[in-house]
Copies of this chain bind each other. A is one copy, B any other.
Amino acid sequence: MSQANTTDVTAYMQQVGQQARAASRALAAANTGSKNAALMAIHDELKNAKQDILAANKIDMDKGQKNDLEAALLDRLELNDDRFEGMLQGLKDVAALPDPIGEVTDMTYRPSGIHLGKMRVPLGVVGMIYESRPNVTLEAASLALKSGNAIILRGGSEAFESNQAIAKCIHQGLKKVGLSEHSVQVLQTTDRAAVGELITMTDYVDVIVPRGGKGLIERISNDAKVPVIKHLDGNCHTYIDSDAEEEVAIEVSVNAKTHRYGTCNTMETLLVDEAVADELLPKIAEAIVAADDAMQLRLDDKSQSILNGNTKLEGHLSAATDEDWDTEYLAPILAVKVVDGLDAAIEHINTHGSQHTDVIITDNYSKSQRFIREVDSASVMINASSRFADGFEYGLGAEIGISTDKIHARGPVGLEGLTSQKWIVYGKGETRA
């Protein structure tokens, strides 16, 4: 199906779905060796096709520039030598990961005599909807293959040529080891109606993983009939407790805010215990502003009374509004609030946070344990930068997304998030009394 011929998107998507379902049955039964061989065959195809892929990417980049794509999108769209090497390395990394499929746990005898346990199995068919980054095509395909799932990929139209060139390598690799090409299908249409079909084909798709802006993900979640593993936003907090060690408070805050701005695990609000705010807040604020002269601090009343007039912060301060506590800036902006101790900090985080990643800086045992238990977020940390909330840092090998849901997969999602566990029963002719 060419881009020009998308009149019957429903029929096309039904066909894609049926092919994916059939391929998923075979993949579920594929052994670890052949899945790894497929990943390495794709690695070799990709390596050999580097010039073709970069040429396809150049077509996308030229078109993007002509269409005045914004700089951030163009940056994500670009495949340079470094990113290409990263893709190749990613395939080797995923091949080296242990196969999650087939793991049997909790086998016990029940009083009836049956031997009962759980076996980890693939979900079946994964639908992935994402925006500009073409390397996501490869990442998602490799995680799906390793976990025995077929995948349907719907990348952004701006990356169409790059994605098709990568898909060609994936198909050649799959073919080489005798696995179905339908194991990985990159949609050959940019028609938006295809997304609507993909997220409602409950017969053929078991889970949708969207990656992109909050607007896209909200639309998908709202319209989907297939379950969605979704990441909405990352409004991450660092709470400086009265028992924080000064150096840790400063270094972790600077890292959590200034290491990268566009990432979901970046700190957006700094909370400081009133008891140490006079002492610590100026030092932390100065260090953050020193790290980036573009930094803007949005202050509540109490932090204003502490920081206003500080010459090192001149031009960097303004008053926070209520909206700031609920905002993911993804920019050199930080909301700052002085709170009345741990309870107020937990209350603020559970009320205004996005249940993504929240941090306490403290050297007090009891308060650290209360924070860990009572903060209702996907990642809760003591004395560490929220920037660690990441599939690679967590050792998941690669990351298919970060979930802000509580159901099924929470936080960084790697291979295990693409599996489920079925019950298995070994009997000897038992019947129920």
Which A positions have Cβ atoms within 8 angstroms of B?
25, 28-29, 102, 108, 110, 112, 114, 116, 119, 121, 123-124, 206-207, 221-222, 225, 227, 245, 247-248, 251-252, 254-256, 259, 350, 370, 372-374, 376-385, 387-389, 393-395, 405-408, 410-412, 420-432
A199 to chain B, nearest CB (A): 14
Q: Within the complex, which residue of B222, B225, B382, B424 is in contact with A381, where a contact is CB–CB below 8 Å?
A: B424
- CB–CB A410/B422 < 8 A: yes
Known A-B contacts: A28-B373, A110-B394, A410-B422. Give 19 more (CB < 8 A). Answer: A25-B350, A123-B407, A124-B376, A206-B406, A245-B429, A255-B431, A256-B431, A372-B424, A376-B422, A379-B424, A379-B425, A381-B427, A382-B426, A383-B427, A384-B431, A385-B432, A388-B432, A394-B423, A411-B422
Q: Measured between C-beta atoms, what is the minimum distance from A345 to chain B in Å?
A: 14
Q: Judge whether A259 and B432 touch: CB under 8 Å.
A: yes
B384 near A430 (CB under 8 angstroms)? yes
Nearest B residue to A113 via CB reads B384
Contacting pair A29 B373 (CB below 8 A): yes
List 29 A-B pairs, Cβ < 8 Å.
A25-B350, A25-B376, A28-B374, A29-B374, A110-B388, A110-B393, A110-B394, A116-B395, A119-B372, A121-B373, A123-B407, A206-B406, A245-B429, A248-B429, A252-B427, A252-B430, A378-B422, A379-B422, A380-B422, A381-B427, A382-B425, A383-B426, A384-B426, A384-B428, A385-B432, A389-B423, A408-B408, A411-B422, A412-B423
Interface centre among A372, A379, A383, A384 (most CB of B within 10 A): A384
Q: A382 to chain B: which residues have CB within 8 Å?
A: 425-427
Copies in the complex: 2
Given contacts A114-B388, A410-B422, A423-B389, contact A432 B255 (CB under 8 A): yes
Question: A121 to B382, alpha carbons, bound, how many Å?
Answer: 17
Say yes or no: B28 contacts A384, CB within 8 Å: no
Minimal beta-carbon separation of A206 from chain B (angstroms)? 6
A251 in contact with B431 given A29-B373, A112-B393, A388-B112 (CB within 8 Å) = yes
Could you say which residues of chain B place their CB within 8 Å of the CB of A376?
A: 25, 28, 121, 124, 422
CB distance from A292 to the nearest CB of B (A): 15
Contact between B116 and A394, CB atoms less than 8 A apart: yes
4 shortest interchain CB distances as A-B pairs: A384-B427, A255-B431, A248-B429, A381-B425
Q: What is the bound-complex CA distance between A389 and B431, given in angstroms?
A: 11
A408 vs chain B, min Cβ distance (A) = 4
Chain B residues with CB under 8 Å of A259's CB are 431-432
Q: Which residues of B contact A383 (CB under 8 A)?
A: 426-430
Pick the contact of A374: B25, B430, B431 (CB < 8 A).
B25
Contacts of A28 in B (CB 8 A): 373-374, 376
Q: What is the bound-complex CA distance between A427 and B408, given in angstroms? A: 26
Measured in the bound complex, the distance between the Cα atoms of B255 and A256 in whole Å is: 61
